[in-house]
Structure 1
């Protein structure tokens, strides 16, 4: 006569498996893949598979429990019970030994170690999977102009990265610049960080055609991320000697009427700001953030900046952000579409120099053949209404 063994396994909260069969001698094995890396906002699959030697899995004797920080996320015990809305499991794969957990819309709070417990009564096994959320940094350099012979401070704004550990370096023509200072990381509400790195230098004529680079290394990157700029150099304004000042005063007193007319003409010319061409790469890569930059010089108060994109005959305004300093700027999440950032760099004699940029991740359907426009204007369009275009770029597949 065949003897059956009574096997019982307590699963907690009053749940008990009772099995009368020689499956009590089944061998249960679990395997996992750890750690798992996931981009913030994406879905993460925590793989956990199991095998029952010499037996076909009978769901009546099977239980699966996923837990995190001492809290159960979901259970499969005579049916599936989900305790965390963002957690799910493929029920059709369970009988084939797949107990993997899917977490949707990963946040920084999902970081840590997860426990996968599988019970095939009366045997219990568990393994652990570590989830590491990551967010790729964005780089923006707001100031690109300097005066020859006068100390300048270049700032690199690194935005929206996670985890907090990051390495930032400034380079001149590929050589690391000394004297770099880095601010304390600041955290956004979504858990990502921002940080500023500043370098002091004394620009010379020889710097006019050199690349100054902010290079970032971070866990989310396969290799260093680097933003290159060339300085827009100006001659230092010369002081006026006492003798020249006296002569000038005499001339003004004699020709006061002419002087007033010239002054008014000069003032009007100053209000006609000058814009740089829109700078940016001519080859864009799918999935890689792209930055376009336009600079306005001698901007009067009240000037506004507008970026638009013309594609297939339709011109749309790119998400605007108020003029600010990069220390207060929210991260430009390229995966949410093109966004703008505008910074007041320097103020002199009532006029300001303004850097404005668009950051976005290119797509074939939205960006191929498009024309990007940057416009500086005032509400009185007769006063200022200047515009530059950026076009004829190529989009290539992922490298």
Structure 2
């Protein structure tokens, strides 16, 4: 915004501000990711600065696709199926929406609207529904040709990359069907590769590799090609399903049946493969494979150890003995009694067995160790197997940047961001900046432990109020949970806050009587603005002129900018601007003066115009004289001369 001739004060400086003075503040998590069929919590928290009165509280959740889905109004709640708001949590400022048995149709954007008394705040969040794909490979022989089919099913969203490989090299010439929608909203498709194998192809490792947002790492299923008549057919590797984890698997060796003859193991158990860290609330799958001679009734049992507690995760509950199974059973679900949600599956091939353990980690699982055992084949080999350690991790959810209502000291604006739901405790780095200018790092404060064992904290940064300059200025915060974690950023535009307050400009005041030759001061009072600095000018339009012209600080006119005085809380400023001049009848009578004020919070300047000045000039009175001509002769004529008066007319002369 351009300023006119100098009038009131210097120009503005930068600053960063938020919804100061507002009693109701609200923040929502930017997004929530949830597996199909799980429970999702759409985060929405609010604060009213005092204990919450349910009688004046109203909460609504709206879906961009379906409209209103949940409502709480003065103690009464109505919800769509599978959705829930907790009245107990609402009384402590938690308006989060629980979505049970997450379905594909729940995917989308939601709005949390909180009204308290006469104030209303809204925030948006996005629920991303994820369903991990499943792979099955099939080799079909028809005459001389062989077709390899990779069926990928049960995935959501639709965006997915599937590739066929041979000996870790991408196969050219494969075809891919169009994704087909399943009954539950997920998708399925098939990749096909047809060729004519020769004997030298026997034992080649073919694989189907899938990448999908629901997978932490690519999912791969591979098998060794069988060519009829080849002497390598009998040695072909059976179907092996494995999650390829580039993060590196931490091993846990299992027991295997030892043949007494020669002291050699009849089978080998792989190390447990799993991610380096387990994200809180997201399903994790551990893998363990066994190759070699395995008895028909052998099964893999998973063991969980935490402190002094040791538990077997298997079909009949913790500590029970495994069931005998047929030689090649279908995949079986093993339901643990002690750890709800922990499930195990296993698949057999002609040459081995693959076991998987799937669970959704909680904070209580942090530090627990897992290994897989063969039962009843388990024998003490003389070595204690290594265990795979569960390392639970949850990144912080950032609220929107807010401006705290209390400014201490008053000339610094406190910006705050709330970090919620992170684990483990501690934040590696928090950095604030404004328009790319970095400020000192900030340490979080007010650590609190949440009900689920995660932590919350607040980071506060104070910026000088004189730095405020433009609505487009942006305050940014960058949070890094751990040294190797990606940064999480938040941003606040000054124009989106209520800090920029336009000034109230009074009418121009001047003395009741304006006398030529005597100095006059025109005054204009400017109050209630923020930030402190503003600009403007005085203008004058002569009588009969079409336009007003700016007045400069000169011998004829002296500008009085005045000094801004802050309120006790630093949030508002007041000052008085003035213009001093000595009027004359010829120059100033009938002129109009305008006080024009410009401020960053104003789209257009505020202009206050005076009425036309009425300049008075008293007469100069000469000495009394006797006129030479007496008419009539018997009366002496006395005379006095009045000079330079304005306006015309003398109301009274008394002798």
TM-score (norm 1): 0.58
Question: Is 2:176 the partner of 1:182?
Answer: yes
Equivalent position of 1:152 in the other structure:
146
Report the Cα distance in structure 2 between the residues aligned to 1:199 and 1:232, rounded to whole angstroms. 15
Question: Is 2:71 the partner of 1:75?
Answer: yes
Instruction: For residue 155 of structure 1, report the CA deviation from its aligned partner.
Output: 0.8
| Residues 191-246 of structure 1, C-alpha deviations (whole Å, 9 max, x = no match) | 2222110112343454444422111111111222111222122348xxxxxxxxxx
Equivalent position of 1:17 in the other structure:
none
Report the Cα distance in structure 1 between the residues aligned to 2:90 and 2:25, rounded to whole angstroms. 14
Instruction: For residue 172 of structure 1, report the CA deviation from its aligned partner.
Output: 1.6
Instruction: For residue 48 of structure 1, report the CA deviation from its aligned partner.
Output: 0.9
1:131 aligned residue (127, 130, 146): 127
Report the Cα distance in structure 2 between the residues aligned to 1:335 and 1:193, rounded to whole angstroms. 25
- Aligned with 2:285: secondary structure? coil
Equivalent position of 1:116 in the other structure:
112
Equivalent position of 2:207 in the other structure:
213
Q: Is the 8 A contact 1:290 1:361 kept in 2?
A: yes
Q: Is the 8 A contact 2:221 2:239 kept in 1?
A: no
Q: Is the 8 A contact 2:62 2:112 kept in 1?
A: yes
- Aligned with 1:127: secondary structure? strand
Instruction: For residue 132 of structure 1, report the CA deviation from its aligned partner.
Output: 1.5
Report the Cα distance in structure 2 between the residues aligned to 1:355 and 1:183, rounded to whole angstroms. 32
Equivalent position of 1:222 in the other structure:
216
| Residues 293-351 of structure 1, C-alpha deviations (whole Å, 9 max, x = no match) | 99xxxxxxxxxxx99848765425589779xxxxxxxxxxx987538799xxxxxxxxx
Question: Is 2:345 the partner of 1:338?
Answer: yes
Q: Is the 8 A contact 2:272 2:288 kept in 1?
A: no
- Aligned with 1:233: secondary structure? coil
Equivalent position of 2:26 in the other structure:
30
- Aligned with 2:135: secondary structure? strand
Q: Is the 8 A contact 1:144 1:232 kept in 2?
A: no
- Aligned with 1:106: secondary structure? coil
Q: How does 1:1-399 map to 2 (within 5 A)?
A: 26-52=22-48, 55-68=50-63, 69-143=65-139, 150-235=144-229, 280=240, 282-285=270-273, 287-288=284-285, 309=299, 313-315=321-323, 338=345, 361=357, 368-370=372-374, 396-397=388-389
Moved more, 57-66 or 308-317: 308-317
Instruction: For residue 168 of structure 1, report the CA deviation from its aligned partner.
Output: 0.8
* Larger helix proportion of the pair: 1
Structure 1 pair 194–340 and aligned structure 2 pair: CA distance change class (3 A) = farther
- Aligned with 1:288: secondary structure? strand
For this pair of structures, how many residues does the alignment match? Answer: 284
- Aligned with 1:222: secondary structure? coil
Report the Cα distance in structure 2 between the residues aligned to 1:102 and 1:76, rounded to whole angstroms. 14
Structure 1 pair 127–42 and aligned structure 2 pair: CA distance change class (3 A) = same
Structure 1 pair 291–175 and aligned structure 2 pair: CA distance change class (3 A) = same
Q: Is the 8 A contact 2:139 2:146 kept in 1?
A: no
Report the Cα distance in structure 2 between the residues aligned to 1:398 and 1:39, rounded to whole angstroms. 20
Structure 1 pair 293–284 and aligned structure 2 pair: CA distance change class (3 A) = closer
Q: Is the 8 A contact 1:118 1:125 kept in 2?
A: yes
Structure 1 pair 289–366 and aligned structure 2 pair: CA distance change class (3 A) = closer
Instruction: For residue 292 of structure 1, report the CA deviation from its aligned partner.
Output: 7.9
Q: Is the 8 A contact 1:145 1:231 kept in 2?
A: no
- Aligned with 2:89: secondary structure? helix
Q: Is the 8 A contact 1:181 1:198 kept in 2?
A: yes
Q: Which has the larger radius of gyration?
A: 2
Report the Cα distance in structure 1 between the residues aligned to 2:97 and 2:84, rounded to whole angstroms. 6
Equivalent position of 2:256 in the other structure:
none
Report the Cα distance in structure 1 between the residues aligned to 2:110 and 2:146, rounded to whole angstroms. 50
Structure 1 pair 341–145 and aligned structure 2 pair: CA distance change class (3 A) = farther
Report the Cα distance in structure 2 between the residues aligned to 1:155 and 1:355, rounded to whole angstroms. 21
Q: Is the 8 A contact 1:32 1:47 kept in 2?
A: yes
Q: Is the 8 A contact 1:38 1:44 kept in 2?
A: yes
Report the Cα distance in structure 2 between the residues aligned to 1:395 and 1:232, rounded to whole angstroms. 36
Q: Is the 8 A contact 2:104 2:129 kept in 1?
A: yes
- Aligned with 2:105: secondary structure? helix
Structure 1 pair 275–230 and aligned structure 2 pair: CA distance change class (3 A) = closer
Equivalent position of 2:11 in the other structure:
none
Structure 1: segments with no counterpart, 5+ residues = 1-24, 237-273, 295-305, 323-333, 343-353, 374-392
- Aligned with 2:163: secondary structure? strand
Q: Is the 8 A contact 1:169 1:176 kept in 2?
A: yes
Instruction: For residue 109 of structure 1, report the CA deviation from its aligned partner.
Output: 1.7
TM-score (norm 2): 0.37
